[in-house]
């Protein structure tokens, strides 16, 4: 086995300067001439490992073997020289150039000092014929569909005479028939002798395409086997991990009230794939926590965009607090009682360069409490911030310090303090504890439970299944922009049960 290996990872570890360990002692090998899948959840270390293989990052320790010899890959150029090509999830094409120009960018076919367009086109035609990937060499990339652009990316990699092709989540941008076509092409390439590393968290696709799978979780290899030796349950257990159902803390009073937010047959087909949703039916009642599970791109972001006024629904009805909110703006949603903890707290949840005070009162700054005639009452704003800091236990150098001086957990606490201070009736908690320390997470969990106890309806979107099962009263699972499963009680529910739905292997709703 090892003797036939094209690539072998030997005890590869990667730690970043800030102490994050992305990879720990990763060892496995990739056989020649096969399609080898690498699977795992977001943040499991798949991308970091591929970046190391492609020379974009260097391992902290461990070594990489190519053809049995130690290889040091210092840059993508070195990787290409070693015969490694990569197709990134986000394409790296120049939209205003033609297909041929893109493919030979950096290795232009010349005659004298001029670029030979004829020759370039001819070579592209030959290349696309050889690998059975039909593209028009003279079409501008900006005019091509996403699937066609992907073909160009693959051809671009193949034009460099590679023997190993890395594909990072290649199907994320494709429709099912396009995916099917891509798979056929990839099988052809494999039969022609190319080794393919296929990175995906969609287990159905892994099963359809690859012969061998390596599963990463939290930076470690947790599974490495022939797919023939694994059934679906075993596979999804490997990916989802050993998270078992945790003893649920009992909430003080759980009285579910009247319907608060109701979506009926809501669709939105524009935007990025993860933002598209179709035929959503969901009602959130006052005083309950509805958990939304799903892998990245399942449509949760679309749901949140609709419920926070960032996007209008194309069809269907959305009602919040008795008002029609189908095309309500963020301002409408907020004035009707929405509070929102966004998934990306740096991009959407705060202004890192502004002070704690500015961040803490933003949004509420037009309230009479902070006014002094035509001016803002800075003293009252500082006071309110001090109150939030002490109530939420935010560790900070002081209210006038910039938010960037705070750690992730403390920043998130301040953002939560701001959002919760608006006395909302409906809360969207999108990845509320991602990347923050356990104590801060526990604190926010308790706060949210108390809010639900006082009648606030909460939509909890999280990729942390323990968090989901701890906080939620009921759970819906989204995949491909639809709700594919509903669990009206979470008693006896385990991550194992959710896994197949989240990965699109099963469907009940």
Partner 1 sequence: MSRKALAPAIVTIVILAIVVITVMLPLALTTQDPVGVLETFLFGPFRNLRYLGNIVEMATPTMLCGLAVALMFRSGMFNLGVEGAFYLGGLGTVAAALLLPMPWWAAAPVALAAGAVIGSTVCVLPGVMRAHFDTSELVTSLMLNFVALFVGLFVLNYFLRDPAAGAMASYKIPLEAQLPRIVPGTRIHLGTVLALLACIGGAIYLFRTAGGFEARLVGSNPSFAAHLGLPLRRVMVRSAALGGLIAAFAGGIEMLGLYTRFSWQALPGTGWVGVTVAILARDNPLLLIPSALFLAYLQVGGDLVGRNFDVPIEGVGLINALVLLIATAAAIIRNPMLLRLVSGERSAGLTKSLPKAEAH
Coil, strand, or helix at residue 10? strand
Q: What is the nearest approach in angstroms of partner 1 to the Cβ of residue 305?
A: 11
Q: What is the nearest approach in angstroms of partner 1 to the Cβ of residue 437?
A: 23
Told to check if 401 binds partner 1 by CB under 8 A, we report no
Please name which of 258, 507, 310, 347 lies closest in space to residue 428, comparing C-alpha atoms.
310
In the bound state with partner 1, the residue whose beta carbon lies nearer, of 253 and 335, is 335
Site string for partner 1, 269-308 (x = CB under 8 A): ---------------------------------------x
Question: In sequence order, which residues have a C-beta less than 8 Å from that of residue 114 and are 6 or more positions away?
Answer: none
Q: How many residues bind partner 1 (CB under 8 A)?
A: 30
CA distance 325 to 307: 9
First to last CA, the chain: 44
Question: In sequence order, which residues have a C-beta less than 8 Å from that of residue 76 and are 6 or more positions away?
Answer: 54, 55, 56, 86
CA distance 309 to 204: 34
Residue range at the interface with partner 1 (CB under 8 A); choices 62-70, 247-255, 366-374, 450-458: 366-374
In the bound state with partner 1, the residue whose beta carbon lies nearer, of 150 and 268, is 268
CA distance 309 to 334: 9
Token pair of 189, please? 């390439």
Structural Rg of the chain based on CA atoms = 26
In the bound state with partner 1, the residue whose beta carbon lies nearer, of 349 and 481, is 349
Buried-exposed string 68-105: b where 16+ CB fall within 10 A, e elsewhere = eeebebeeeeebbebbbbbbbeebebeeeebbbbbbbe
Residue from 241, 294, 299, 349 touching partner 1 (CB under 8 A): that is 349
Residue from 170, 297, 309, 495 touching partner 1 (CB under 8 A): that is 309
Q: What is the nearest approach in angstroms of partner 1 to the Cβ of residue 259?
A: 23
Told to check if 409 binds partner 1 by CB under 8 A, we report no
Residue 195 burial (C-beta neighbours within 10 Å; 0-12, 13-18, 19+)? buried
Residue range at the interface with partner 1 (CB under 8 A); choices 13-21, 101-109, 156-164, 362-370: 362-370
Q: What is the nearest approach in angstroms of partner 1 to the Cβ of residue 331?
A: 4
Residue from 4, 330, 404, 489 touching partner 1 (CB under 8 A): that is 330
In the bound state with partner 1, the residue whose beta carbon lies nearer, of 46 and 340, is 340
Residue from 36, 217, 340, 482 touching partner 1 (CB under 8 A): that is 340
Residue from 365, 404, 454, 489 touching partner 1 (CB under 8 A): that is 365
Residue range at the interface with partner 1 (CB under 8 A); choices 53-61, 198-206, 296-304, 349-357: 349-357
Q: What is the nearest approach in angstroms of partner 1 to the Cβ of residue 310?
A: 7
Told to check if 333 binds partner 1 by CB under 8 A, we report yes
Please name which of 467, 372, 459, 369 lies closest in space to residue 421, comparing C-alpha atoms.
369
Contact positions with partner 1 (CB under 8 A) in 372-391: 374-376, 378
Told to check if 329 binds partner 1 by CB under 8 A, we report yes
Residue from 43, 363, 408, 480 touching partner 1 (CB under 8 A): that is 363
Q: Cα dihedral sign for 495, 497, 498, 499?
A: positive
Told to check if 310 binds partner 1 by CB under 8 A, we report yes
The three-state (H, E, C) secondary structure of 292-335, written as one string: EECCCCCCHHHHHHHHCCCCCCCEEEEEECCEECCCCCHHHHHH
CA distance 440 to 143: 48
Token pair of 397, please? 């150098």
Residue from 77, 246, 362, 442 touching partner 1 (CB under 8 A): that is 362
Told to check if 366 binds partner 1 by CB under 8 A, we report yes
Q: What is the nearest approach in angstroms of partner 1 to the Cβ of residue 323?
A: 15
How much of the chain is in helix, strand and coil states, percent to nearest 5? Answer: 35, 25, 40
In the bound state with partner 1, the residue whose beta carbon lies nearer, of 95 and 397, is 397
Told to check if 351 binds partner 1 by CB under 8 A, we report yes
Token pair of 210, please? 């690859």
In the bound state with partner 1, the residue whose beta carbon lies nearer, of 85 and 349, is 349
In the bound state with partner 1, the residue whose beta carbon lies nearer, of 323 and 371, is 371
Please name which of 18, 22, 16, 43 lies closest in space to residue 464, comparing C-alpha atoms.
43
Q: What is the nearest approach in angstroms of partner 1 to the Cβ of residue 468?
A: 23
Residue range at the interface with partner 1 (CB under 8 A); choices 76-84, 138-146, 257-265, 364-372: 364-372
Report the greatest alpha carbon distance in the chain. 81
For residues 320 and 333, the answer to whether their CB atoms sit within 8 Å is yes
**Under the rule (CB under 8 A), what is the footprint of partner 1?**
308-310, 329-335, 340, 342, 347-354, 358, 362-363, 365-366, 371, 374-376, 378
């Amino acid at each position: 086995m090892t003797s036939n290996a094209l690539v072998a990872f030997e005890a590869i570890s990667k730690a970043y300067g800030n102490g994050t360990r992305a990879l720990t002692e990763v060892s496995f090998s990739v056989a020649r001439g096969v399609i080898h899948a690498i699977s795992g959840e977001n943040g499991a270390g798949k991308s970091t490992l591929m970046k190391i293989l492609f020379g974009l990052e260097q391992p902290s320790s461990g070594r990489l073997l190519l053809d049995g010899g130690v290889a040091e890959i210092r840059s993508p150029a070195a990787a290409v020289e070693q015969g490694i090509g990569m197709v990134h999830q986000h394409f790296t094409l120049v939209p205003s150039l033609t297909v041929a120009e893109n493919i030979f960018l950096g290795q232009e076919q010349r005659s004298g000092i001029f670029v030979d367009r004829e020759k370039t086109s001819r070579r592209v035609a030959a290349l696309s014929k050889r690998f059975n990937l039909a593209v028009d060499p003279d079409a501008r990339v900006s005019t091509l569909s996403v699937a066609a652009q992907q073909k160009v990316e693959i051809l671009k990699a193949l034009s460099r005479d590679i023997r190993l092709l890395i594909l990072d989540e290649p199907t994320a941008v494709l429709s099912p028939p396009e995916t099917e076509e891509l798979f056929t092409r990839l099988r052809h390439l494999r039969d022609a002798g190319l080794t393919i590393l296929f990175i995906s968290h969609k287990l159905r696709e892994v099963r359809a395409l690859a012969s061998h799978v390596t599963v990463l979780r939290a930076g470690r290899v947790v599974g490495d086997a022939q797919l023939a030796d694994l059934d679906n349950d075993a596979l999804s257990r490997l990916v989802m991990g050993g998270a078992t159902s945790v003893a649920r803390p009992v909430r003080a009073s759980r009285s579910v009230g009247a319907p608060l937010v109701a979506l009926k047959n809501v669709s939105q087909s524009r935007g990025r794939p993860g933002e598209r949703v179709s035929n959503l039916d969901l009602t959130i009642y006052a005083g309950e926590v509805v958990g939304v599970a799903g892998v990245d791109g399942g449509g949760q972001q679309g749901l949140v965009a609709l419920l926070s006024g960032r996007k209008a629904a194309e069809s269907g009805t959305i009602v919040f607090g008795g008002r029609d909110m189908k095309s309500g703006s963020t301002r409408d949603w907020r004035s009707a009682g929405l509070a929102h903890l966004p998934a990306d707290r740096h991009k959407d949840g705060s202004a890192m360069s502004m002070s704690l005070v500015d961040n803490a009162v933003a949004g509420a700054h037009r309230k009479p409490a902070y006014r002094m005639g035509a001016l803002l009452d800075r003293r009252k704003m500082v006071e309110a911030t001090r109150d939030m800091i002490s109530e939420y236990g935010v560790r900070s150098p002081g209210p006038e310090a910039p938010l960037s001086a705070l750690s992730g957990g403390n920043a998130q606490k301040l953002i939560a303090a701001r959002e919760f201070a608006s006395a909302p009736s409906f809360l969207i908690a999108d990845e509320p504890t991602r990347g923050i320390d356990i104590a801060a997470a526990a604190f926010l969990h308790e706060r949210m439970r108390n809010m639900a106890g006082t009648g606030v309806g909460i939509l909890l979107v999280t990729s942390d299944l323990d968090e989901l099962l701890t906080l939620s009263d009921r759970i819906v699972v989204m995949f491909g922009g639809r709700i594919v499963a509903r669990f009206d009680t979470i008693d006896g529910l385990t991550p194992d049960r959710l896994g197949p739905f989240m990965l699109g292997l099963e469907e009940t709703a």
